Structure 1
Amino acid sequence: MRTLYLSQQGCWVTLKQEFLRVLSGRQELYTVPLPTLQQVLIFGYAQMTTQAIRACLVREIPIAYLSQTGYCYGRVMPLARGYRGLAQRQQAMAEQWRLQTAQQIVRAKLLNSRVLLMRQLRETPTASGAMVVNSLSHLAARALQTDRLEPLLGIEGIGAALYFPELGNCLRQEGFILLTRTRRPPTNPVNALLSFGYSVLWNHLFTLIELQDLHPYEGCLHRGNRQHAALVSDLLEEFRAPIIDSLMLSLINRRILDADQDFMYEKGGCFLNETGRKKFLKSFLERMSIKIKTQTGTQPFWDVLTQQVRQYKQCIFNPEQVYQPYQIR
């Protein structure tokens, strides 16, 4: 999936024929051919000319505006993407189907978290590791036994409370600590890295969902409103541990990121600075391009994301089909 990331502060984008030119002052940094582009993510103080924005809209290329810390302010998208295609079908799905889908999502999230911990604990066993791994397995089984959404969300919350401290025990670089998950704002480098990573992946899923004509605000586990794209958050859950959490561990334990050099503290929170964002985005693209083994063969993570969105779409057309989230083994 070709995405233009604009993370360098003060850069700006102009249009030249069928290319977007990224400039810093009068210096051209690089160009991107419009026909290959699927979305633009702008972090902080980067700008696009009206001509460049119009060219993207004509080609149905959405533009997302984010803060330097990864918070998404909003998206600019063409009128053609009005979510009219499958919106009525999604809204008409039975409550039992929604609950069943939510159960599968929570179960997969818990099991993926469990497998990631098991992989790490083989190298660095901890006193609490076995207990957490067993608890996540038990919670995953309980997720399928719930009869309402509220208990299911409670199980998800218990799993997160067990998982994140144990994930923190897998960190092997001074200056990086994870005792609990803090979001708004993230309070330390590990939480900053997770928040930024989830936001980047969330925006990628948003675009893939749009490309399949699905309504991103009609979900199952998360209940949508005008400010929350619930379906995007739903489909993000199964990929948190396999993509972002594992990437976080790799960046820290391989000492690619430095707690003092790649983060900044402001407004009561901790965030990736420009250098940190560049390092993360480079590693993120590399991770998403690596081919992994799945039930359908070997394919990059980009294709796995697309495959899951398409599977969800098939379930909308055929409610008898049970959505099967992505699981790592």
Structure 2
Amino acid sequence: MKKTFYLFNPGRLSRKDNTLKFTPVDEESGQEGQPRYLPVEDVDNLYVFGNLDVNSALLNFLGKSGVAAHFFDYYEHYTGSFYPKEYLLAGKMQVEQTRHYLSAKKRILVAQRLLEGAAFNMVKNLRYYQNRGKALDDDICQIETLAGRIPETTQVDELMGVEGNIRQVYYSCFDRIVPGYAMGNRTKQPPNNELNALVSFGNMMCYTVCLDAIYHTQLNPTISFLHEPGARRYSLALDLAEVFKPLLVDRTIFRMLNKKELQPSDFVTELNRCTLKERGRKAFVQVFEDRLRETIQHRSLGRSVSYKYLVRLECYKLAKHLIGADEYKPFKMWW
């Protein structure tokens, strides 16, 4: 099975015969470390967090081998991806996806379903901790009341207002779920404390997982329904990430902080910006990868599928809706 590889250290990535060769390089002295070889047939994605030197020969090799590379800056912001040629894009799908975006009635329906799935999964998380003694009853009621307004919305900006209110209530619960850490207001650019830093980092990872799933379908990642399409971003991945952040990101954060797999010493705060140190990033992505590999017995397919594959299935469901083959029903946690 192909794997995702994370490159945290600065270095040079090159082709060596039919293998990827990563050579770590000390940025101060320029001294090279011991090379590591990655058989390209074992690589699914590369996540690059350190400075990386590559050349066109390497990119051609990645493209022919179907390997994507995702890049992040010093502050853990997603900056872009290198993707092989889009081999599954289909004209009919793009036409139908565009029609659904341009039709206010069709677009709002898809957007509402996406938010319904997101709200349901947020409540599912809160009920889990409510059943373990956390005082979350009022918050659950507030979110369910707000979610009840979703079918009444007629404009996407109105729907996004509901989404913002739901998120505000949901994030206010984090302090009680992970004692010792204060969420405060949700701050993104930059995150100002440990919880905000973890949410930003985890959401970025979820966004990239969704983008990769879209790439393996006929959907166009730039045409979205809940979020407004914009320049220099794959907004459909933002749409799908809303549904899966409670499962993939938030549960990872709750587990790691409650089990003390992350400590305050794993964060650094400078100039009102809080980020994960390298050890913290490595620990988070390891648990995040483990979560993606977890499996669940799928009720419709009748077999076990990984959490990561659930995202791909969501893309297939959305694609079927767009071409009129089946009505889109969002992923909702049933366990």
1:61 to 58, 67, 70: 67
1:75 alignment counterpart: 81
Structure 2 unmatched runs, 5+: 26-31
Shift, 1:49, TM fit? 4.1
In structure 2, what residue type is equivalent to 1:178? M
Q: C-alpha offsets along residues 189-235 of structure 1, whole Å, 9 cap, x if unaligned?
A: 11111111111121121121112131101011011012231111001
Where 1:32 maps in the other structure, the secondary structure is: strand
1:283 to 272, 280, 287: 287
Structure 1 distance, partners of 2:293, 2:199, is 20
1:257 alignment counterpart: 262
Mapping 1:79-228, distance limit 5 Å: 79-80=85-86, 85=91, 86-93=93-100, 94-126=103-135, 129-172=136-179, 174=180, 176-228=181-233
Confirm or deny: 8 A CA contact 1:7 1:42 kept in the other structure. yes
Q: Is 2:23 the counterpart of 1:23?
A: yes
Structure 1 distance, partners of 2:297, 2:275, is 33
Shift, 1:84, TM fit? 6.0
Larger relative contact order, structure 1 or 2 (CA cutoff 8 Å, min sep 6)? 1
Structure 1 distance, partners of 2:99, 2:36, is 46
Where 2:240 maps in the other structure, the secondary structure is: helix
Q: C-alpha offsets along residues 223-280 of structure 1, whole Å, 9 cap, x if unaligned?
A: 10122311110011110111100100001000000112x1122343111111111001
Q: Is 2:288 the counterpart of 1:294?
A: no
Shift, 1:79, TM fit? 4.4
Mapping 1:5-44, distance limit 5 Å: 5-8=6-9, 10-25=10-25, 26-28=32-34, 30-44=36-50
1:236 alignment counterpart: 241
Q: Is 2:53 the counterpart of 1:52?
A: no
Scaled by the length of structure 2, the TM-score of the pair is 0.89
Shift, 1:81, TM fit? 5.6
Count of residues paired in the alignment: 322
In structure 2, what residue type is equivalent to 1:282? Q
In structure 1, what residue type is equivalent to 2:125? L
Structure 1 residues 36 and 97, CA gap change in structure 2 (3 angstroms): farther
Where 1:65 maps in the other structure, the secondary structure is: strand
- Percent identical pairs in the alignment equals 20
In structure 1, what residue type is equivalent to 2:252? L
Confirm or deny: 8 A CA contact 1:101 1:322 kept in the other structure. no
Confirm or deny: 8 A CA contact 2:11 2:24 kept in the other structure. yes
In structure 1, what residue type is equivalent to 2:47? L
In structure 1, what residue type is equivalent to 2:37? T
Q: C-alpha offsets along residues 28-67 of structure 1, whole Å, 9 cap, x if unaligned?
A: 4643221232322211323334432221122332322211
Confirm or deny: 8 A CA contact 1:84 1:215 kept in the other structure. no
Confirm or deny: 8 A CA contact 2:206 2:241 kept in the other structure. yes
Confirm or deny: 8 A CA contact 2:11 2:50 kept in the other structure. no
Q: C-alpha offsets along residues 261-319 of structure 1, whole Å, 9 cap, x if unaligned?
A: x112234311111111100111111111111243234321011111111111112221x
Confirm or deny: 8 A CA contact 1:3 1:37 kept in the other structure. yes
Q: Which moved more, 1:45-54 or 1:204-213?
A: 45-54
Over the aligned positions, Cα root-mean-square deviation in angstroms equals 2.0
Structure 1 unmatched runs, 5+: none
Q: Is 2:289 the counterpart of 1:269?
A: no
Confirm or deny: 8 A CA contact 1:110 1:136 kept in the other structure. yes
Q: Which moved more, 1:70-79 or 1:272-281?
A: 70-79
Shift, 1:326, TM fit? 1.1
Shift, 1:165, TM fit? 1.0
Q: C-alpha offsets along residues 149-168 of structure 1, whole Å, 9 cap, x if unaligned?
A: 12211111111111101122
Where 1:162 maps in the other structure, the secondary structure is: helix
Structure 1 residues 80 and 301, CA gap change in structure 2 (3 angstroms): closer
Confirm or deny: 8 A CA contact 1:101 1:220 kept in the other structure. yes
Q: Which moved more, 1:99-108 or 1:63-72?
A: 63-72
Q: C-alpha offsets along residues 111-155 of structure 1, whole Å, 9 cap, x if unaligned?
A: 1111101111222322xx111111111222211221221221111
Q: Which moved more, 1:142-151 or 1:69-78?
A: 69-78
Structure 1 distance, partners of 2:305, 2:127, is 23
